[in-house]
Copies of this chain bind each other. A is one copy, B any other.
């Protein structure tokens, strides 16, 4: 990664404009997919240290039991270590960070939760050009697995990355599998997707274009799945399993997620950060699924990293049974 003297104020403003428009259009798409009358409410907030955001939340919908689409643009005097795991030498610089983050929790246990995040960082320093980078991605957390959905999700992600290099999808897909892992459960959070950080390779135009293409592909990846699954019938036992599995989502976000912990520990707006938590969650002691059941299949098959583009759904290297 190199410093890029060519970055202009107009570039920074164009990222901001893109993210704000993305928030608006995503909310509109989710409202269109919502079977009931619920819409996103909106809260604008400011941060004492600089910047602020717009939080949009939909609750108690017919399709989406809870969902949030957050835009924020904050500035600070000292970049914390957690903002860039790969380059601790930037810690302590003044910075700007802007991003959109999304978590959607459908009501129907057959429909998966999804998460997406797109962000841009600028680390500034007197007398030197700023260092900038993009990060982002999206991942899917099913409660009941459907091969067709997993293939569609990953195919859409791979298509979005294809123009940027032969290995981009695979590399971001593996990064996603590494990141969304719960060591204390020995489980993945979901079936993965894309995750990237510290992206500035190839210059601003290429990176911003990659971010835009991946961002545009997220609703294409997610909405057809929600439309297929949110109509399926479900039982009380399946609903209880969904509520139980949502506990894993809480455990990941509160114990491991860098963005969440960074936000909570540095005085971010708590309600905006924790809008990601599911609406109703259950914890039961040592719950085990009936061997061979669909509940067992979730962890035994779907939550094991594999190549969702391969005919035989091969496990990722090192994940063979």
Contact = CB atoms under 8 A, between A and B. Distances in A.
Given A184-B270, A270-B185, A280-B280, A285 B59 contact: yes
A296 B277 CA distance: 23
A266 to B, nearest CB: 10
A255 B279 CA distance: 19
Contacts of A251: 254, 274
Interface string A42-72: 0100000000000101010000001010000
B254 A250 contact: yes
B247 A285 contact: no
Nearest to A105: B283
Specify which of A66, A265, A285 lies most central, judged by the most chain B CB atoms within 10 Å of its CB. Answer: A285
Interface in A107-147: none
A274 B277 CA distance: 17
How many copies altogether? Answer: 2
Given A255-B254, A255-B264, A264-B184, A279 B283 contact: yes
B250 A255 contact: no
A275 interface: yes
Specify which of A57, A185, A264 lies most central, judged by the most chain B CB atoms within 10 Å of its CB. Answer: A264
A312 interface: no
A282 interface: yes
A59 B279 contact: no
A147 to B, nearest CB: 29
A271 interface: yes
A233 B54 CA distance: 41
A63 B257 CA distance: 35
A68 B270 contact: no
A261 interface: yes
A193 interface: no
Interface string A183-205: 11100000000000000000000
Interface in A245-264: 247, 250-251, 254-255, 261, 264
A278 interface: yes
A277 to B, nearest CB: 4
A267 to B, nearest CB: 8
Contacts of A243: 280
A286 interface: yes
A163 to B, nearest CB: 37
A254 B59 CA distance: 24
Contacts of A68: 285
Contacts of A255: 254-255, 261, 264
Contacts of A286: 43, 57, 271
Specify which of A254, A261, A271, A281 lies most central, judged by the most chain B CB atoms within 10 Å of its CB. Answer: A281
16 contacts: A57-B285, A66-B283, A183-B264, A183-B265, A247-B277, A250-B250, A250-B281, A251-B254, A271-B286, A277-B283, A278-B283, A279-B284, A280-B281, A280-B282, A281-B281, A281-B282
Interface of A: 43, 55, 57, 59, 66, 68, 183-185, 243, 247, 250-251, 254-255, 261, 264-265, 270-271, 273-275, 277-286
